[in-house]
Amino acid sequence: QNRRSDVDDESERCETDVSGKVREEFQSAEFGDQRLTKRLIEVGDRLGRAPAESIPNACEDWASTKATYRFCDNERVDPNEILDAHKRAQRSRVQDNDELLVVSDTTELVFPRHPSKEGLGDIGNSKTDLEGVKVHSTIGLDPQTHRMTGVIDQQSLIEDQQASTKHDANGKNDPVELESEQEKWIRGDRQASDWLAEEVRPIFIHDRGADAFAFYREVTDDLDAGFVVRANQNRCIQTPSGTDGRLIDWSEDLLEQGRTSIEIDQGSGREAREAELLVKAGSCELLPPKNDSTHTDPVEVNVVRIDELGEQDDPIQWVLLTTESVDTFSDSLRVVESYRARWTIEDWHKVLKTGCRIEERRLETWERMEVLLSVYSVIAWKVLELRELARGETYYSPDVLLSETERSILETKFPELTDNGDQAYAIAVAKIGGYLDRSSDPPPGWETMWKG
């Protein structure tokens, strides 16, 4: 009962947990049948209450469980429309911005508990034989706070390595054949550019996978947008002096603008550390590939090079290509911070896979799974937001996270809360989840917040 809704004077449901926030994202979904929209809201509500649980446990009774499975199997329920409803709700979060950071990345989904799922593709290599789906997602980030605004685009990439074909499953619509996996980057960016209002300029933030001349050409020519991309190739360039060179080699000799430091989190066998960085910047022209006759003109870019000082084991070294100004040291630092913001999508992937356990879902076909993926993608966005509230870097009222009832419960357990602000409430939630709140402890992560 404590997890159920309160009821206000108008008998409307006032949710007291993440599910209530998720419900708002689905209200405008249009399936041609209002009953399906209502069912989507109910599914989001129930799964949002207990994202880590199995569908039967989250639904709590067989009737709701069966209704959820039927919803995923309904031919009229298109996962693209689920995300479109979320995007319509997201508009209010970005409409006052002059710019929006648009971040894309790919994660692989495998299903060890249900390997016989129909509609999967090949994601292995010459040494491993794995079936699954590559999900390429595009998200929005506020350029000042780096807070995730929501999911903008999602492509489910199915590959047949034997036939050398790739396609986007495209929900309940006809699959879209792709010439190459590289095409996914510009498709996601086009979706974001078309969706945003004209007065909001997108800045595409990508890792090395997007380092392609065709990408730079299209963004600068057709999308009226900016980009920050980490270079992957030591490509041919023309330097400001008019001589030919190689990008990464040339960037070594750029003039130093200044030094800064960033905190590196522990992970992947790496210890946490404070990294001191040397920042260099300049400009050059990227020359079109000789084997690509479709592009003849160079692309002018600015370059920020980052080298970590004093680290012998796997030091940071980034060469960032960008449309944004690098005239001053602060300009270059802004480019670096924009690139670092892309790590948010990796955290979101972790919530989706570890928190929402999307790979443990046992629906029989990928077509049904894609519906479920759209719902859990929105839930994962909201859960990730809990971490941002706990970090306290931007002011939020406690009622963004907690209902009046929940705040009262916390104030009973932690009387000092009544004299503190929003971050104190978030920390109190984290304490219930096991956070010790010692002076030497880093801010709580999303897993601790979620448990609380």
Per-residue confidence (pLDDT) for residue 394, from 0 to 100: 56
Which residue type sits at 391?
R
Distances in Å between the Cα of 213 and the Cα atoms of 235, 286, 319, 324 are 9, 8, 15, 17
The position carrying tokens 């979060």 is 93
The single residue listed with the structure tokens 């949002």 is 48
* Gap between the Cα atoms of 412 and 425, Å rounded: 12
Residue pair 114/359 in contact by the 8 Å Cβ criterion: no
Which residues, in sequence order, are bridge partners of residue 251?
Answer: none
pLDDT for residue 268: 62
- Whole-angstrom CA distances from 113 to 257, 349, 358, 437, 439 are 52, 19, 11, 37, 41
Alpha-carbon gap, residue 41 to 35, rounded angstroms: 10
SS3 call for 29: coil
CA–CA separation, 135 and 112 (whole Å): 17
Residue 351 is classified by DSSP as I
Q: What is the pLDDT of residue 10?
A: 35
Q: Structural domain boundaries of the chain? A: 97-350, 395-451
Q: Which residues of the chain have pLDDT under 70?
A: 1-20, 126, 266-270, 387-401, 419, 421-422, 446
For residue 139, give Cα distances in angstroms to 56, 153, 438. Answer: 30, 7, 33
Q: What are phi and psi of 432, to 5 degrees?
A: -65, -30
User: 97-350 in CATH: which number?
Assistant: 3.90.350.10
Question: Residue 228 forms beta bridges with which residues?
Answer: 205, 322
Q: By three-state DSSP, how is residue 243 classified?
A: coil
Q: What is the DSSP letter of 267?
A: B
Model pTM score: 0.86
Query: Which amino acid does the sequence have at 143?
Result: P
Instruction: Please report, in angstroms and rounded to a whole number, the separation of the first and last CA atoms in the chain.
Output: 18
